[in-house]
Chains A and B, each alone.
Chain A
Amino acid sequence: MSDEELLGDTPIISTRGLRKMYGPHLALDDINLEIKKGAIGILGPNGAGKSTLFKCLLGLITTTSGEGTVLGHDIRTQGEMIRSRIGYMPEYNALDPNLFAIDQVRYSGELLGMNTKHATQRAHEVLEYVGLKDQRYRKIETFSTGMLQATKLACALIHDPDILICDEPTNGLDQRARSFMLQTLNRTVREGNRSVLMSSHVMDDVQDLCQSIVMIHKGRIVVQRSIEELVEQVDKEVEMVIWGGASKMEYELNSMGLELRRLGRVIRVKVTSEKTIDQILQAAVSAGVQVRQMKEYEPDLEDIFLLVMDKLGSQIKGTGDLMTPEHTGGV
């Protein structure tokens, strides 16, 4: 299924002028969202308002002003209808450690109004889908982080929701578990034709899964676009590996008036004109250094994120600054 087919025209989530205040603190300010079907990444630093936005969309908290709909239901008055059509996978632990996985998932289905027979049958199906078929009858307290995340996903998927909201689904997962989680979410979007709203600090995850992103900063939406469009907006750069005096090379490039970023031997230079490559080679000759490798640098989502955050004056050097030990699994 192509991206065009996935991204239908009708927005599944739309908000207009959404505002939420906690006392004097403004948590969300003038949120105007138009989210279409597919996989959407919600990005933003800690405290940006992502969780508040989720709570508003789930109809759990009353908004101070503004309006919005999720799957055609009003977020101010039809919270229960919304929650019965949405699957929410919380960021933090939300499982009873004393239950078997099958019982936990079945119970989460029953809480949606499924009868016991259907909930049990469906619990078997979704646990198999998330890769926990053989662990169904194990107590949750014995589960690894990856298995806990998968169980939470199974709980969210039990009623085959139209929209799946995942709050940091790859939190603390190792590479293998992370790939499997992303593959599962991807399959849910492509095979299941469902929408996924995912918040994450790991840009690679968002880039792997999502077609578009919504970036929130200090309660406001600063970017709401497809990733492809955003990549095109980022300045083109040339990346090279320098041997024999990266500092001298940096000095030469600076003296030629070129904009650059340096990380050890690796230097990235902004391409401003057709002559930039010639200027770089000339600088290398002047500095007497070897250019071991030179290629056009392909910007990723992290570059976009940092660029936007930099423009907003946020003191973030890298996405690592946004993470707590919980995000990295204590590493």
Chain B
Amino acid sequence: MEAAFGSGDGDDEATAVVARSQASLGQVFEQKYRPWDGDLGPRWMRNYAIFRHHVYGVFTGKGHRQYHPMVRLLILIIFLASLTPIPMLFLSSFIGDQGGLFEKMWGINRYNLWGQVLGYFPRNLCMWPLLTAVIVGGMISDDRQHGTSAIYFSRPVSRLDYTAMKYLSVAIILGFVIVFSYFAYYTSAIVFKSEGWAYLADTLPIFFGGMLAGIILVITYTSIGLALSSISRSRFFAAIGFLSIIYGTKLVSLLVELQFETTFMYALSPYDCLAHLGQFLLGIPSNYEHPVSISAVSILAMNSLAVWLLVSRVTSLEVTRE
């Protein structure tokens, strides 16, 4: 500064800056063992970690289980599609369509509540099976393929906790789309139509019947899907296997019905058993000749078989090698 703006020549305190004889090179990598004396949490924390890892992955692409972007997009599309009756209800109330076409098509009644969960087209043809297939696809088969089961079982995670948390994760995701959309549909009808207590008293039992049917559907699809995921090392096999079971049994039963005019074969179709039970729970006439108890027993048997398969395959997951 003095040299630039002052009267001096800048050499009053002349010092030369020279390089140090030994330049400091710094430490690139120092390996040092650092102990940790924290406390490990209880069982629920471990279980919650498994649950969170699988569920949060649907919402965020970082830090948790990776779902393919197309899978996440598909889940979003199915979720939005399951909510489509809500704007129609809004439109119906907006234009004052009391007892009109909109009311019949999307208003709250036994048939529409049944259809929201158990209708074949589009929900059980295009939406719920596809949703289940993409969710369960790699849920356990990925652990088999990548050997990541060792990460779980070499830690204080029991096979029961592992299976239960995987099951719960799938059920929560499916439930969020299927049961939540059903709940949103019903409540939005109340809000849009400004319905009162009398309406609630009339429709709540039907609503709960439909919700129970939805929960049974979620449980059944989760059981079958996870069982298929547990027997394979490929997420593709599990997904295709699930779709084959749902569509295949339905198609075969339909062909048998057309040929022999009997609906008994529908007892082998998971979808039809659920639909039949749903009709009973919502109090609408059945499309099936056979008694509902057969469908109920069939659902129970399918779930038992699937859970048995799931448990036995998870038991066989290795720690030392896969």
B63 located at the interface, meaning its Cβ lies under 8 Å from any Cβ of chain A in the complex = yes
Instruction: Tell me, yes or no, whether A125 is within 8 Å of chain B by CB.
Output: yes
* Residues of chain A from 114 to 153 with CB closer than 8 A to chain B in the complex: 114-115, 118, 122, 125, 129, 131, 133
B35 to chain A: which residues have CB within 8 Å?
160, 192
B31 within 8 Å of A by Cβ? yes
In the complex, are the beta carbons of B40 and A92 less than 8 A apart?
no
Q: Cα distance A51–B41 when bound, in Å?
A: 28
Contact partner of A96 (CB less than 8 A), chosen from B38, B46, B142, is: B142
Contact assessment for B40 and A112 in the assembled complex, using a CB-CB cutoff below 8 Å:
yes
Q: Shortest CB–CB separation between residue B161 and chain A, in angstroms?
A: 10
Contact B147 A93 (CB under 8 A): yes
Query: Which of B29, B41, B155 is the most central at the interface, judged by chain A CB atoms within 10 Å of its CB?
Result: B155
Total chain B interface residues with beta-carbon distance under 8 A: 41
Q: Which of A91, A94, A112, A118 lies in contact with B46, CB distance below 8 A?
A: A112
Interface hit among A15-23, A76-84, A285-293: A76-84
B156 & A80 in contact (Cβ 8 Å cutoff): yes
Q: Shortest CB–CB separation between residue B320 and chain A, in angstroms?
A: 4
Within the assembled complex, what's the spacing in Å between the Cα atoms of A264 and B224?
Answer: 64
Chain B residues in 8 Å Cβ range of A183: 31
Most chain A beta-carbon contacts within 10 A, residue among B35, B49, B146, B153: B49
A98 within 8 A of B: yes
Q: Is the CB of A108 within 8 A of B29?
A: no
Q: Among A103, A110, A131, A160, which residue has its beta carbon within 8 angstroms of that of B49?
A: A110
| Interface membership of B20, Cβ < 8 A | no
* Residue B297, interface by CB 8 Å: no
As a 0/1 sequence over residues 5 to 43 of chain B, the CB contacts with chain A under 8 angstroms (1 = contact) are 000000000000000000000000101111111101111
Number of interface residues of A (CB under 8 A): 50
Within 8 Å of chain A (Cβ to Cβ): is B45?
Answer: yes
CB–CB A103/B63 < 8 A: yes
Contact of B321 among A92, A125, A159 (CB under 8 A): A92
The interface residues of chain B lying within 8 Å CB-to-CB of A81 are: 156
- Determine the residue in chain A with the shortest Cβ distance to B61: A98
Closest B residue to A98 by beta carbon equals: B66
Choose among A60, A94, A133 the residue that contacts B147 (Cβ–Cβ < 8 A).
A94
Would you give the 0/1 interface string for A71-103, flagging 1 where the beta carbon is closer than 8 Å to chain B?
A: 000000001110110101011111111111001
Query: Does A305 have its Cβ within 8 Å of any Cβ on chain B?
Result: no
Residue B157 contacts which of A96, A103, A111, A125 (CB distance < 8 angstroms)?
A111
CB proximity of A113 to chain B, nearest CB, Å:
4
B46 and A51 contacting across the interface, CB-CB below 8 Å: no
A113–B40 CB distance below 8 A: yes
Q: Does B97 contact A (CB under 8 A)?
A: no
Partner of B41, one of A58, A83, A113, A133: A113
CB distance from A234 to the nearest CB of B (A): 31
Contact check, A90 vs B319: say whether CB atoms are below 8 A apart.
yes
- Chain B residues closer than 8 Å to A51, beta-carbon distance: 320-321
A112–chain B nearest beta-carbon distance, Å: 5
A155 within 8 A of B: yes
**A188 contacts chain B at the CB level, 8 A cutoff:** yes
Q: Lowest 7 CB-CB distances: which A-B pairs, in order?
A: A113-B41, A110-B49, A88-B154, A98-B66, A113-B40, A160-B36, A80-B156
Which residues in A have some Cβ–Cβ distance to B below 8 Å?
A: 51, 54-55, 58, 60, 79-81, 83-84, 86, 88, 90-100, 103, 106-108, 110-115, 118, 122, 125, 129, 131, 133, 155, 158-160, 167, 183-184, 187-188, 191-192
* Given A92-B321, A96-B66, 4 more pairs with CB closer than 8 A: A60-B153, A84-B156, A93-B146, A97-B146
10 sampled A-B residue pairs with Cβ under 8 A: A92-B322, A94-B148, A108-B151, A112-B46, A113-B40, A113-B41, A159-B36, A159-B38, A160-B35, A192-B33
